[in-house]
Amino acid sequence: MMQWKLLIFSVLLIPGIVFAAPKVLDKIVAIVNHKIILDSDVDSIMRSVKAQAKKSSQKLPNADILHSKILEKLIMDTLLLQKAEESGIRVNDQQLDEAILNIAQKNQINIGQLHNYVAKQGLNYVSYREQVRRDMIIGALRNREVRNRLTILPQEVDSLATQMSLEKRSSVTFNLTSMFLPLPLNPTQEQLNKQRNITQQLIQNLTNGLDYNKIDILKLNILQPLIKMDMGWKSIQELPSLFSQSLVFSHKGDILGPINSGTGWYILKVNDIRGDDTQALVTELHAKHILLKPSITMSNSEAKEKLLHAAMRIHSKKSFNTIATELSKELGLVCSTSDLGWVSEEKFDLEYRHAIKNLEIGQISQPVHSVFGWHLMYILDIRVADKSYEIQKEKADRLLFNRKFYQEMENWMQDERNAAYVQIIT
């Protein structure tokens, strides 16, 4: 994009240039629904753009083109502010103050210095604040409307996450063993189903610890002899695509399959991996908890005291369940119990993490306070999990969102422009 176009948008979109020159009554240059835009509005921006261009030695287009671009941006801002007002979108003074403070902090200055900077630029600080407010309102409207128009399918996320992971694992090598259960020529559907079921049974046995070299003892009722092969060390690029897709998020010791080649079913065993720095290992806890919510009938200290007594009586999962049931019957709605499932440690609040930091399987925490009340946690299990796939999916989702957001934003703005009454007066 040409530098002068960037300059116009930096002046119009970024809350930084608001001239203090008073408006004069002059001719109307545009009508946007029930609002008007004056020639002096355009001229004020024109002066700002020209001043900034002069400072940065940028070349501008002729005055007519520049005037047209600025007028179109003012039309869209006016239109979107009208729609935001109709939708009830507001930015109060507290929200505005927080936003301006954030602007100052990003520029590594305080509010007093921001006041001085605005004044040195010959700008009106009150007008500056209102420009920030307008930008925030338009931003809130745009985010709401465009988000409602976006669709990101799970298949899109999975596909992009897999592609990103393949690229990231391009330098990784795998030591593999393969097993192939071939199909006869032109197999029937019954034969296909039978061979697949046998393959799944074999995978289950291998996952449960069956030695690869002792597969023959299973006496599998397969259609053709099983073919075993030590594949040695291979990179992703050296393997068939049907294998690489399965290896994207694999780990040492994994049994992968069944993989359909069209002529039979493959099983892959990952004996070892070299050069893998893609893992994102996190500690996860499987826990149950009791929550007591202070109320009119039970004070904050009483809730904590009840859980302290409960903790002293809990010695196993069975006793935890028994005491949780007793508390629920005694206290009713102010007591709730649930299985939290597998949760990574970093998902817990700081107080939680401190309380469960050194707990082992079968141990119970001390009462932990949160905004919801007092919690007692019982650790059912602990594991180290690789979250690289989840992390890649989150990255893929963000990339797709950003990509689609800006595409859809242009479509939305054009739709709003087409639906509005706009008259440009020459």
Q: What is the mean pLDDT of residues 350-361?
A: 81
The architecture of the domain spanning 282-386 is Roll (3.10)
- With bands split at pLDDT 50, 70 and 90, how would you rate the model's confidence at 170? confident
Average pLDDT, integer, range 279-294: 86
Sheet holding 35-38, edge to edge: 35-38, 28-32, 422-424
pLDDT of residue 224 exceeding 80, the answer is no
Spatial distance between the Cα atoms of 11 and 3, rounded to a whole number of angstroms: 12
pLDDT higher than 80, residue 348? no
| pLDDT at residue 223 tops 70 | no
- Tell me what the mean pLDDT of segment 141-168 comes to: 89
Q: What top-level class would CATH report for the domain 3-149?
A: mainly alpha
Q: Which of 203-217, 335-349, 391-405 has the lowest mean pLDDT?
A: 203-217
Note the CATH number of domain 170-274: 3.10.50.40
Q: Give the C-alpha separation, 278 to 252, whole Å.
A: 13
Whether residue 140 has pLDDT greater than 80:
yes
Confidence (pLDDT) at 122: 66
Q: Check residues 205 and 416 and name the one with the higher pLDDT.
A: 416
User: How much is the pLDDT for 226?
Assistant: 81
In the predicted model, is pLDDT for residue 217 greater than 70? no
At 32, the pLDDT band (50, 70, 90 cuts) reads very high
The whole-number average pLDDT for the span 213-225 is 68
Q: What pLDDT does 5 receive?
A: 42
Q: How far apart are the first and last CA of the chain?
A: 28
pLDDT score for 63:
86
Q: What percent of the chain has pLDDT over 70?
A: 91
pLDDT band, residue 19 (cuts 50/70/90): very low
Q: What are the residues whose beta carbons fall under 8 Å from the beta carbon of 266, sequence distance 6 or more?
A: 178, 179, 180, 181, 242, 243, 257, 258, 259, 260
Compute the average pLDDT of residues 284-295: 89
Greater model confidence, 350 or 76: 76
Q: What is the pLDDT of residue 216?
A: 64
What mean pLDDT comes out for the span 297-312? 88
What is the enclosing helix (H) or strand (E) of 148?
helix 125-149
In angstroms, the CA 220 to CA 237 distance is 33
Task: Read off the pLDDT of residues 68-106 as tens digits, 9 standing for 90 and up.
Answer: 999 999 999 999 999 999 999 999 999 999 999 999 999
Band of residue 1 on the pLDDT scale cut at 50, 70, 90: very low
- Indicate the domain borders of the chain: 3-149, 152-169+392-426, 170-274, 282-386
Q: Hey, do 170-274 and 282-386 end up sharing a CATH topology, with the first three levels equal?
A: yes
Helices (H) and strands (E) in the chain, counts: 13, 11
For the chain, give the mean pLDDT. Answer: 84
The pLDDT, as a whole number, for residue 383 is: 87
At 25 the pLDDT is: 55
pTM assigned to the model: 0.55
The 10 Å CB-count burial string (b at 16+, else e) for 380-401 is bebeeeeebbeebbeebbeebe
Whether the per-residue pLDDT at 47 is higher than 50: the answer is: yes
